[in-house]
Structure 1
């Protein structure tokens, strides 16, 4: 069955009811306007079979660094590890690992990488390969331009999301230019997913992300994305630990206000929702329009998981100068900076219209699947 996907989707923002629609703005007009630094959350041990490199790249995809490291170290791409895909039009700093058991890296590796535009800022060793999604999060420094820089309400919007968090939407880069990844996913799932047609699972990820965003939009429209509902599945802040709610109570509601727990929605797959009662009804209302995507994901063997509906910012700072606004904040692994920006300003690419197909993010893998 071919689900009737219309692009771009009209997923609501959280702050419009309180402040009205945001004014226009620009971001990422050049790489220096979008700086991402990976927060690993632990220190490499200094010994082991895997060479770890802390690399700064500019206007380059993470996959390009992987290819160059594999070639220069004479290993296969599978011997290269990284925690997440970072944005291409940006300055990014992240760890990479290279499996080099019993041998050293080429003596001129750092020079060779520098000639290709990759600055190696630290080299060490660790016993294990760097795996996707193991990093704690990412730190962003974003420079905004355009009318938003003179918006009198900007600081109030900023304070509202600092205090209450933002809807944890998957960002538009997950879906590709004009939703192309999603349409490809729909057609592939209708035929029957095969790994040879989607080796990195990018299309499966696009379908699951779309279904999650639809559920989040349903909760936003109902005014319940920051509420505890009967039958909810809650996630402990800073972890992937889940627990079910039979009946909401004052203690749970206070923990939600304090940011200790967050409601979740399903990343669809085999095993279903796990939610019940009122929470399950809202999920099913959002998912019933997409039976082809849901059934296709089940047939593909994807296992169901949960993702928080809300994400909190850390280490926040806002600064205005004559022509721009600079934002600084951290997000946990899997969250998208574009979800923050679309609450603060109006800009076409924040509403899922036109972005590169390469999943990016400042989040891919905590992006999750």
Structure 2
């Protein structure tokens, strides 16, 4: 499979465990940005779904209520192979149709009036509970020590393998669509073009981390020779403690959200980064998006695509920190545990698991005999 190659941020030796997504092993719950107001012309629905994609859920909700695509609001997409609780909105005039919604895979947990629709991205985060097994009992303690270390230091905010389709090649189709010059038609073409954006972002992020590893593992003179960078720059980067090294011209933002800032003092900004006050951002190429400058632009430009004007561009946080990280064990299963943590919107739980294990976790397609 051709999932974008990742450079892991940390240097611990690989940890072996089994992970696969299923409704009884992968549980995710959205944390809404704001609660329902209790009054208004919209309904905020809290829905539990099992073995059902968000797209399929939306189609079922349309069929049950008669609402149109544009009238149903949702904050994010949730995987099919999971038990997921997510929030959606629709106009209150469709309330009567909700009685037709219940199926074996859908449960309406709550419906309350609110003042307006949910927009994509309007989440505080997602809470995960994930079962992993086939852990060497002698390694279980080290696994949690590594997870807790990553909880303190954060991890690279790669797009997960789910973004790139079953074969990992959705970005190739997206590149063809983006370069065709045609206007995007429908949600499928937009998703494919977004996969190309995501592939470029992952490539840039991997390159930045690889450069940081070279700087940290060599003398400044040797790093300068390998990277073909100035010796003084490599020496300055070595004074930054974090795996992701900040450069002149990076675009930063407050970790709690807010406007973009031009990075002008990498060493000073690195301290704010370490304290979770500022976070560097990476480019999702497209229309009307800020590009980095200076040294940061030098590393960003190979992963830009000026032809990708059919989608709006964005800046995505390059780094995230898991919150409320913990675990549950079962005395009868010494080879297994439940990992629990919360991530900000858009961050992938599988990316965190890959950083812990140092192993790609994309499901392998079975060969036909």
Q: Deviations over 1:300-333 (max 9, x none)?
A: 2x33321111011111112343231211111111
Flag structure 2 segments of 5+ consecutive residues without an equivalent.
213-241
1:26 counterpart SS class: coil
1:78 counterpart SS class: helix
Distance 1:265 1:125, change over 3 A: same
- Does residue 1:295 correspond to 2:306, yes or no? yes
Q: Would you identify which runs of 4 or more consecutive aligned residues in structure 1 move more than 3 Å?
A: 147-150, 197-200, 270-273, 346-350, 352-355
- Does residue 1:204 correspond to 2:193, yes or no? yes
Q: Is contact 2:51-2:105 (8 Å) kept?
A: no
Q: Is contact 1:267-1:304 (8 Å) kept?
A: yes
- Give the TM-score of the pair, scaled to structure 1: 0.83
Q: Which residue of 1 aligns with 2:283?
A: 266
- Does residue 1:36 correspond to 2:25, yes or no? no
Deviation at 1:208, TM superposition (A): 0.9
- Does residue 1:236 correspond to 2:254, yes or no? yes
Q: Is contact 1:145-1:324 (8 Å) kept?
A: yes
Flag structure 1 segments of 5+ consecutive residues without an equivalent.
1-5, 289-293, 356-369
Q: Is contact 2:19-2:361 (8 Å) kept?
A: no
Deviation at 1:242, TM superposition (A): 1.4
Deviation at 1:266, TM superposition (A): 1.1
Cα distance in 2 for partners of 1:207, 1:324 equals: 36
Q: Which residue of 2 aligns with 1:72?
A: 64
Choose between structure 1 and 2 for higher RCO, CA contacts under 8 A separated by at least 6 residues: 1
Distance 1:96 1:354, change over 3 A: farther
Deviation at 1:157, TM superposition (A): 1.4
Rg larger for:
2
Q: How does 1:79-228 map to 2 (within 5 A)?
A: 79-100=71-92, 103=93, 105-106=95-96, 109-110=98-99, 112-147=100-135, 150-151=138-139, 152-196=141-185, 201-223=190-212, 226-228=244-246
Cα distance in 2 for partners of 1:185, 1:37 equals: 29
Taking only aligned residues, the RMSD between alpha carbons, in angstroms, comes to: 2.4
Distance 1:278 1:348, change over 3 A: closer
Distance 1:174 1:353, change over 3 A: farther
Q: Deviations over 1:224-251 (max 9, x none)?
A: 753322111112112143100123243x
- Which range moves more in the overlay, 163-172 or 237-246? 237-246
- Does residue 1:14 correspond to 2:4, yes or no? no
Q: Deviations over 1:162-186 (max 9, x none)?
A: 1110100011111112223111112
- Give the TM-score of the pair, scaled to structure 2: 0.83
Q: Which residue of 1 aligns with 2:226?
A: none
- Which range moves more in the overlay, 163-172 or 217-226? 217-226
Distance 1:158 1:86, change over 3 A: same
Tell me which of 346, 355, 363 is aligned to 1:343: 355
Distance 1:128 1:181, change over 3 A: same
Q: Deviations over 1:335-368 (max 9, x none)?
A: 1111101011255534x8669xxxxxxxxxxxxx
Cα distance in 2 for partners of 1:348, 1:168 equals: 15
